[in-house]
Chains A and B, each alone.
Chain A
Amino acid sequence: MADALPLQNPNATTAEIAQSLRDIRERKKRRANLLRHLFLIICSFVMVYPLLWLLASSLKPDAEIFGNLSLWPTNFDWANYSEGWNALVVSFTQFFWNSTLITVLAVIGNVISASFTAYAFARLEFAGKNFWFALMMMTLMIPYHIVLIPQYILFLKMGWVDTYLPLIVPRFLATDAFFIFLMVQFFRQLPRELDEAAMIDGCSPFKIYWAIILPLSVPAMATAAIFSFIGIWQDFLPPLVYLNDVKDYTVPLALRMFSSQDSVSLYGPMFAMSVLSIIPIFFFFVVFQRLIVQGIAMSGLK
């Protein structure tokens, strides 16, 4: 056969054999790549399927939701959304407002206080710095459950239970060491010469923080703000403990009311409100994906 493979052809030249080996390897690589894509596509479908099913079910009438694997409603039914918005004693307008207010203030507190603390640790010299830094890193490991009870008693004595203060004020005191650590890592990368030049020009540490470090650390602050937004918006245990009045509830607490209600007919509205509750997070995730991925690679933490 004239077009037999060079490898089986005793008269083939070395160049032909080399070429054919390369072809085989190329083909093998392409097949491996195809398999990899297949594996990844199946995996990502399985991963995203539950979320798509949630979205689809939020647009289906209740009769169509259960025992149904389809991701496409037979006809798009937006009634779940209007019904869900007003299904509880208080409307979701109030819940979303409460969540927004708490989250915005808490995020601001987190970012400001963490950048203050991180500036001290990363750029200033003072007695006992290493000691405090070690303690700060240790607090990363402490489970919230151990401080929860004494904090609750403290806030109860101060009359702060049933207000938003226990959810906001601690954020202004840099209680989340993760964000301090994130910013310390970032501040350390900024060139020292900047501080030194400013110092020679007679700038105080406060001026340096305000005029040099802050403007340069916008990406780090944005990363910290996004992570704290995602965390605080979904916060459940602290509001569960501190808020008892339905009109003060945050969105996650309101969603929980759906699930603990016995009425069977509210599945569609419950799904609709669940979808709305994760839209802000989804939005931030899509827009700031790059910053989020970098943040994880940099700090190694969720």
Chain B
Amino acid sequence: MRKFLAKNAPGYIFLTPWLIGFFVLAIGPILISFYLSFTKYDIASPPKFTGLDNFDYMLFWDDRFWQSLKVTFAFVFLSVPGTLIFALAVAMALDKGIRAIGIYRALFYLPSILGGSIAVAILWRQLFSNNGVVNSFLALFGIQGPYWLSDPNYSLYTLVVLAIWQFGSPMLIFLAGLRAIPTELYEAAEIDAAGPVRKFFSITLPLLAPVMFFNLVLQMIEAFKTFNSAFIISDGRGNPLDSLLFFTLYLYNEAFSYFRMGYASALAWVLLLIIAAFTAVAFASSRYWVHYESDRG
């Protein structure tokens, strides 16, 4: 017994802060959230168990739930491929030893660091205002820009552009991946007279697949969780006409503007399941298109 203690005690002592955090602030809350999602709870009075009512209302009666799903999915499907394409294009331009790479890398990465800040969200609102920078620029070419922020057909694009602007961190990961591709492969391809397009599709892309996969999963999770910029740009409510009603924003308002904690918990579970499902699909599909160095046979 003493031996068992002596062997295990130090590990658990060092683990204690994390264990407390894990039970009190992670697993505990997740279980409580699960329970709350089957209740009606406004904090003032104790939670009332209502069975599947929350989910029934959500799926069959709540138009704003579907609207928020639509907005969020549209955002994910526009912003994630956009971000990855830019990240890869710039990473490829930076690869193979270019002068001043440090400066370029820093300039491209800077927006990723500042992108979530309220200052940038405020700035973005002004850039896309009716007589803001974007429309002034379009006017130089005689184009009358739309009312980006007040026209529900265009408002989402402001946030998509903001997301793509932050391509810096996937770019850095691509850059590390490109470095790992042996140059001999390209030299061999050149001897076989392969052009740049052929080289890209036959060497770069297949060998970069694991990195691409990693970036894809990460960017998707990030995109589903977008909150700060959506909050500021849409006045905290998803304006105009719910066209920026991101899922997280809807959840926040249900919980902290209307204190419908039970319903908001149900929404949170839907978010968790969506993220988990997308991650699972990405992992499951990866065996068809990701080939790791070690399992080539």
Contact (Cβ within 8 A) A116 B17: yes
Knowing A124-B10, A145-B248, A175-B21, say if A256 contacts B232 (CB, 8 Å). Answer: yes
Contact (Cβ within 8 A) B22 A139: yes
With both beta carbons as reference points, the residue of chain A lying nearest to B21 in the complex is identified as A173
Is residue A228 contacting chain B, with contact meaning CB distance below 8 A?
A: no
| A285 to B168 Cα, complex, angstroms | 13
Contact (Cβ within 8 A) B25 A180: no
Mark out the residues of chain B between 201 and 258 whose CB falls within 8 Å of any chain A CB in the assembled complex: 214, 218, 221-222, 224-225, 227-228, 231-232, 235-236, 248, 251-252, 255-256
Contact (Cβ within 8 A) A296 B172: yes
Contact (Cβ within 8 A) A260 B235: yes
Mark out the residues of chain A between 243 and 298 whose CB falls within 8 Å of any chain B CB in the assembled complex: 252, 255-256, 258-260, 267, 270-271, 274-275, 277-278, 281-282, 285, 289, 292-293, 296-297
Is residue A143 contacting chain B, with contact meaning CB distance below 8 A?
A: yes
Contacts between chains A and B (CB distance < 8 A), count? 250
Is residue A132 contacting chain B, with contact meaning CB distance below 8 A?
A: yes
Contact of B14 among A54, A119, A139, A292 (CB under 8 A): A119
Contact (Cβ within 8 A) B117 A234: yes
Contact (Cβ within 8 A) B133 A53: yes
| A125 to B4 Cα, complex, angstroms | 11
With both beta carbons as reference points, the residue of chain B lying nearest to A144 in the complex is identified as B225
Mark out the residues of chain B between 20 and 41 whose CB falls within 8 Å of any chain A CB in the assembled complex: 20-22, 24-26, 28-30, 32-33, 36
Is residue B80 contacting chain A, with contact meaning CB distance below 8 A?
A: no
Contact (Cβ within 8 A) A69 B137: yes
A131 CB to nearest B CB, Å: 12
B80-115 interface mask toward A, CB cutoff 8 Å, 1 = contact, 0 = none? 000000000010011000110010111111111110
Residues of B within 8 A of A236 (CB): 116, 118, 227-228, 231
| A240 to B172 Cα, complex, angstroms | 31
Is residue B271 contacting chain A, with contact meaning CB distance below 8 A?
A: yes
Contact (Cβ within 8 A) A54 B123: yes
Knowing A54-B123, A237-B252, say if A67 contacts B131 (CB, 8 Å). Answer: yes
Contact (Cβ within 8 A) B227 A277: no
Number of interface residues of B (CB under 8 A): 91
Knowing A36-B93, A285-B110, say if A146 contacts B119 (CB, 8 Å). Answer: no
Is residue B18 contacting chain A, with contact meaning CB distance below 8 A?
A: yes
Contact (Cβ within 8 A) A150 B14: no
B136 CB to nearest A CB, Å: 5
| A297 to B174 Cα, complex, angstroms | 10
Contact of A143 among B12, B121, B225 (CB under 8 A): B225
Range of interface residues on A (Cβ < 8 Å): 35 or more
Contact (Cβ within 8 A) A175 B26: yes
Contact (Cβ within 8 A) A48 B18: no
Knowing A116-B17, A180-B18, say if A147 contacts B30 (CB, 8 Å). Answer: yes
Knowing A205-B10, A236-B118, say if A150 contacts B29 (CB, 8 Å). Answer: yes
10 more contacts with CB within 8 A, not counting A141-B279, A259-B125, A278-B114, are A67-B132, A147-B33, A149-B36, A149-B265, A156-B43, A256-B118, A267-B126, A274-B118, A274-B123, A281-B114
Q: List 30 A-B contacts (CB under 8 A).
A: A40-B98, A43-B108, A50-B133, A50-B165, A54-B119, A65-B126, A67-B131, A116-B15, A116-B17, A124-B11, A125-B7, A136-B18, A142-B272, A145-B225, A145-B252, A146-B272, A149-B36, A150-B36, A151-B25, A152-B256, A173-B25, A175-B21, A252-B119, A258-B122, A271-B122, A274-B118, A274-B119, A274-B122, A278-B119, A297-B176
Residues of B participating in the A interface, judged by any CB pair closer than 8 Å: 7-8, 10-12, 14-15, 17-22, 24-26, 28-30, 32-33, 36, 43, 90, 93-94, 98-99, 102, 104-114, 116-127, 129, 131-133, 136-137, 140, 165, 169, 172-173, 176, 214, 218, 221-222, 224-225, 227-228, 231-232, 235-236, 248, 251-252, 255-256, 261, 264-265, 268-269, 271-272, 275-276, 279
